[in-house]
Structure 1
């Protein structure tokens, strides 16, 4: 039965969809990524530019992103240079705050931890939650491999790839099928996050550490230098932020109460006709 033919008050079976391991790691990741993002922007503010290559500095012209402030006929203005293109970003990037007492930082204090310039605190908090993030990722991989979550819900199968066009159409028209397993787009997005973006942001983070480079010099070879690793790290962060925004939109579109109940208790209300019954566990 499709969503279009379901009665408004019809209810499908309540199924146990999310294990305790999935739920706990999900919320730990959410907390970690919040602090990692805001402290990461604090760290970025110490040198608000990204480069490609092993070297960086005033004598080089390999910056692909620069955020700062410049003087103009109208006074100081925020300026962002991206791939050689210059944008006035006053009030958002480079210069923000009250016009009488502006703040000259790449990202405003409203989105950094701490909200004022404090690179030392930002680094300590960033590394603290970074290691919690890594430990949680390892726990999730082991638990999800043992209980079959990776095989069942994360790794896309040929049938999932074939079903992508249909799933795209369903999402475009906000017609969601609530079943025991994830849909094709969910599998593809989660696979990308868990097996590409998460490992990549951890590996590039390690590459930026001089101590890790000394112990594992091959990291610099893989990512083309510390500055390139920093640029990749920043880019992956942007992709994770985009994923988070889309994820939240889809939660509200698919039914926030049902989705939140699933990630808090593990129980999920499926569409009518879905195999399963009250009290059933996979």
Structure 2
């Protein structure tokens, strides 16, 4: 084999050249980190609020005389020592040591969520509400800023809303992710677009609206919202389930960042610059 042929084969097997491109605008980067901070405080303060009544219902009413609970985090005090449990749709799972009954300073205590999962770490409904409501407005305001900026600069249409081409590429993209094969391009892949669109256009609005539906003062201004969600208790349950979906999204998001190359991904969301494959359009 000639030297020229060998050189051509070596070039063919080399990984594609990669160059830095400007991928994330300042609006995308700032809102991303504001949301990360807001969601952290919303989650932990929300769990403290949930500890005040760790049961979820479907319907307009709740109480001992109703049998409409879909989730309970409680403790069985009829045994010694008391045992914590989580009950979902009538199916009970023992969770002593984490949920229901947990240890704090060497002593067992009854708390739906343990102290290390809440803000503040001790049970304080008033403080938890202040923290929760503050960051709820931060989340809502940032979403509005992102929406306006993304409509003006085309980010929402170009990078978030999936098109027909994205839907056709979805099966291949799922297979690539399962094999941990990632393409470093200027554009988001179909799974990214679907997940980001779901968070920004479904989960965020839903968790904001259900939060407002649980507010008696807002009910006086917009009573239709309470009817839309089928009552305050159902709104509370939807709020909680949406929170779980957002937590799952964050976990998967972090795992994908680590798998795709954390330095490159973090550089992109901090500075805006991303090292992409050479064939990527600018």
Q: Give the Cα–Cα distance (whole angstroms) in 1 for the partners of residues 64 and 43 of structure 2.
A: 27
5+ residue gaps, structure 1: 277-282
The superposition leaves residues 222-273 of structure 1 with CA deviations (integer Å, 9 ceiling, x where unpaired) of: 1000000000000000000000000000000000000000000000000232
Aligned to 2:99: 93
Q: Give the Cα–Cα distance (whole angstroms) in 2 for the partners of residues 232 and 148 of structure 1.
A: 31
Decide whether aligned partners of structure 1 residues 6 and 37 sit closer, same or farther in structure 2, where only a CA change above 3 A counts. farther
Per chain length, whose mean CA-contact separation is higher, i.e. which structure has more relative contact order (CA < 8 Å, sep 6+)?
1
2:128 aligned with 1:133, yes or no? no
TM-aligned CA deviation for residue 30 of structure 1: 0.2
**Ranges of 4+ aligned residues in structure 1 off by more than 6 Å:** none
- In 2, are the aligned partners of 1:80 and 1:87 still within 8 Å (CA)? yes
Aligned to 1:36: 42
Q: Which one has the largest radius of gyration?
A: 2
- In 2, are the aligned partners of 1:18 and 1:262 still within 8 Å (CA)? yes
2:159 aligned with 1:153, yes or no? yes
Aligned-partner SS, 2:111: coil
2:69 aligned with 1:63, yes or no? yes
Aligned-partner SS, 2:171: helix
Taking the TM superposition and a 5 Å limit, the aligned residue runs for 1:194-205 are 194-205=200-211
- In 2, are the aligned partners of 1:11 and 1:269 still within 8 Å (CA)? no
Aligned to 2:7: none
The superposition leaves residues 101-145 of structure 1 with CA deviations (integer Å, 9 ceiling, x where unpaired) of: 112100001000000010000000000111011100000000000
- In 1, are the aligned partners of 2:104 and 2:115 still within 8 Å (CA)? no
Aligned to 1:279: none
5+ residue gaps, structure 2: 1-11
Aligned-partner SS, 2:51: helix
Q: Give the Cα–Cα distance (whole angstroms) in 2 for the partners of residues 186 and 163 of structure 1.
A: 12
2:264 aligned with 1:268, yes or no? no
**Aligned length in residues:** 271
Taking the TM superposition and a 5 Å limit, the aligned residue runs for 1:184-203 are 184-203=190-209
Aligned to 1:123: 129
The superposition leaves residues 208-229 of structure 1 with CA deviations (integer Å, 9 ceiling, x where unpaired) of: 0000111100011110000000
2:83 aligned with 1:77, yes or no? yes
- Bigger mean CA offset, 69-78 vs 222-231: 69-78
- Corresponding residue to 1:176 among 157, 182, 207: 182
Decide whether aligned partners of structure 1 residues 178 and 100 sit closer, same or farther in structure 2, where only a CA change above 3 A counts. closer
Pairwise CA RMSD:
1.3
Aligned to 2:238: 232
TM-aligned CA deviation for residue 100 of structure 1: 5.4
